[in-house]
Each structure stands twice: as structure tokens, then as C-alpha cells.
Amino acid sequence: MRPRIATLDFTRGIAIFGILLLNISSFGLPKAAYLNPAYAGLPSLTDAWTWAVVDVLAQGKFLMMFAMLFGAGLQLLLPRGKAWIQSRLSLLLMCGAIHAIFFWDGDILLSYGLIGLVFWRLVRDAKSSQTLWRTGVLLYLAGVGILLLLGLISSPKPDSFWLPGYAELQYEQFWRLKGGMEAINNRLDMLSSSLISVAVQYGWELGGAMLIGASLMRSGWLKGQFASRHYLQVAVIVLPLSLLIQIPAIIFQWQDAWDYRWSGFYLQAPREIGALLQAVAYLALCYGLWPWLMKQRWVAGISQVGRMALSNYLLQTLVCTFFFNHLGFYQHFNRLQLIALVPAVWLINLAVTLLWLRFFRQGPMEWLWRQLTAKASGVAEDAVK
């Protein structure tokens, strides 16, 4: 196996932890709550402030951060060849489909596998890191442009995803708590809608972020080959810029009472642009502070979580669906209380990871993924370095 890049493991761990800050509302509240804090009427001041803080610091940022790291991984996989990469991504797609249908409707693995299968050839065929960067930025901006276009052609009347009725909220609670075929059928419906969104708009952004990550890996930026001062300068410039773009949009959404067309489309655009910039800034901070971070004991724990990123992502689903659906705590907490539960799930991630890696070299899902990839691609496991 190739030597691991310590900073990549750490940033993957940060991304896995950060994604839960977004997903916790999807586990504990109706699906409409993910983007619209006014899904059931104007929110309380506590809910509104919690939404605003999470929106500016986390919403979309860690997903884009993880997408860039995923693209960086595609760049690292190129020496293993076409069969290995396609088998690996196809298996990830299958894993995502199982996860989305039988466990949780907020899955991202299927989208990553699908977009990875489409875009990995662009990574392979790009002549330089600059080409990858320019293509990635153009694709990402195309996705933002399509989002604005959808706002122009959409009906001004909000759909049930943005503003569900009382009966729809009650039914969603019913099937989430009941489970079984009722839940599977509803998750299948949401999966079809999600795939349409990926094909029409979100996939452009996701693919663009992956190409940007591959560019940063090929240039050596994500290998930590630049000076710490350079990374910190990037963070100091890019982080305030991303906040400057996003905060006015958040204020306008609040003042406009989260109007469907504005908050659902037009004012998503500043968030999407800011999310990419902020993800780069977060990565730059991790790399710039790495000489200090690497000496901290807690950093080693987060790096171990990053080594088991796939296993820990799925573990979060198991823990949260058990707590909210099987134990019946769905819709029992407001947004701030849900955020307060997140560190408990992080601790479970950390405890399981440290225990597992005491006895095994890889996470359980990472090991299975690797073994199945070797069998599917026809590449012997001991030939993979």
C-alpha cells in the first residue's frame, strides 16, 4: 500500500465530522427543514440563529471539501489503471444505492460514485493541473448558473419539498418511525428526485469540485508541498471573501421570511460560490497550521477517523437512524439541540475508530471495498501499491 498523506487523513476526518453538522437536521427533522427553517411557519429566534450560523460556517462547505478530497483521491488512483478506478467507483455507487434505499435518504455516496464515473477521465486526460483547475471552475460556475436559471423558470408557488402541509409532515413522521416497505418506497421516491437534481444541476458543481481537488493534488498543493505561510495567506484572503459573499444573502433570506423563489434558488447561488471558496480556505487552514496541529494528540484521533471515512460516514447513519427513528426521538429537538447532539456522535465515531484500528489496518468498509474492487477489476490485491 502507498504511504498515507497525514494531512489528507486529517482533512477527511474534519470533513466527515463537519458533514454531520448539516445532516443532523435531516435525521432529526423533516426533509424540508434542511434548507428552509420556515418549513412549518416562521421559526423561533433560536432556530433562526442556529440556521444562520450553521449556514455560514458549514452548509455546503464540508460537502465541497469532501468532494475536492474525493477528486484528489481520483488523481492518486490514476496509476492503478482504468479497470481498478471504474470498479471502485461502481462499487461506491452500489453502496450508495443500498444506503439511500434501505437506510437513509440523505446519502451522498451514490452521487459521488456516479459523478466520479463520469469525470475521472477528465482527470486522467488533463494535460496539466491548470487545465483541471480551469475546467473545474467552469463546471462549478455552470452549476451555479443552472441554479439561477431554475429559479427563473420555476413556479412562484412553493412545492411540498420547501413548504409541506400538515398532512405531509405527519405522513413523513409516520413512515420514518414505522420503517419497512413504507419507508423504502418513500426513500425510492426521494432518490429519483435526487438523481434528477444531480443530472440537471448539482452534478455540475460536484464534478467541478472534484476536478479542482484533482488539480490541487496534481500541483502538490494537497500534498503539503507549499510553505505554511502560503497556505495561511490563502486562508486569510479567501475565508473573509467567502463570508462577504454569503452573509448578505443570509440576512436577505431572513428578512424575506425565506421566500421560496429567492431563498430556494437565487440566494442559494451566493452560498454555493461561498461554499467552494470556504472549503478551499478550510483546507488551507489545516495545511497552514499543520506544523502545530501535528503535535496535538486530538489531531491523531481525527486523522484516524479520516482513515475510516467511508465506515464512519455509514456509522453516523446507523447511530442517528437508530436514535431518531427506532428510539422515536424524531422531531423531539429544535435545531440548537440537534447541534448539541453532534459531539456525542463524533465521540462514537472516534471510539469505534480507535478501537478498530488497534486490531486492523483498515476500516471494515474500506477493507471490503478494496477486496471487492480487486475481484471486480481482475487486479490482484498484492499488485496494488
Percent of the chain exceeding pLDDT 70 equals 97
% of the chain residues with pLDDT over 90: 93
Mean pLDDT value across residues 55-83: 95
Q: How does DSSP assign 6-25, residue by residue?
A: HHHHHHHHHHHHHHHHHHHH
pLDDT attached to residue 378: 80
- pLDDT bin (cut points 50, 70, 90) of residue 381 is low
DSSP state of 79: G
State pLDDT tens for residues 127-181.
Answer: 999 999 999 999 999 999 999 999 999 888 888 889 999 999 999 999 999 999 9
Q: Which residues of 255-285 are buried (b: 16+ CB within 10 A; e: fewer)?
A: eeebbbbbbbbbbbbbbbbbbbbbbbbbbbb
The whole-angstrom separation of Cα 321 and Cα 222 is 34
Confidence band of 298 (pLDDT split at 50, 70, 90): very high
Please say whether the beta carbons of 335 and 51 come within 8 A: yes
What's the whole-number mean pLDDT along residues 69-98?
96
Domain limits, the chain: 6-383
* φ, ψ (nearest 5 deg) of residue 41: 105, 170
Q: What is the pLDDT of residues 239-264, one digit of tens each?
A: 999 999 999 999 999 999 999 999 99
pLDDT at 5: 83
Tens digit of each residue's pLDDT (9 = 90 or more) over 193-224: 899 999 999 999 999 999 999 999 999 999 99
Q: Is the pLDDT of residue 4 over 80?
A: no
Q: Give tens-digit pLDDT for 332-350.
A: 999 999 999 999 999 999 9
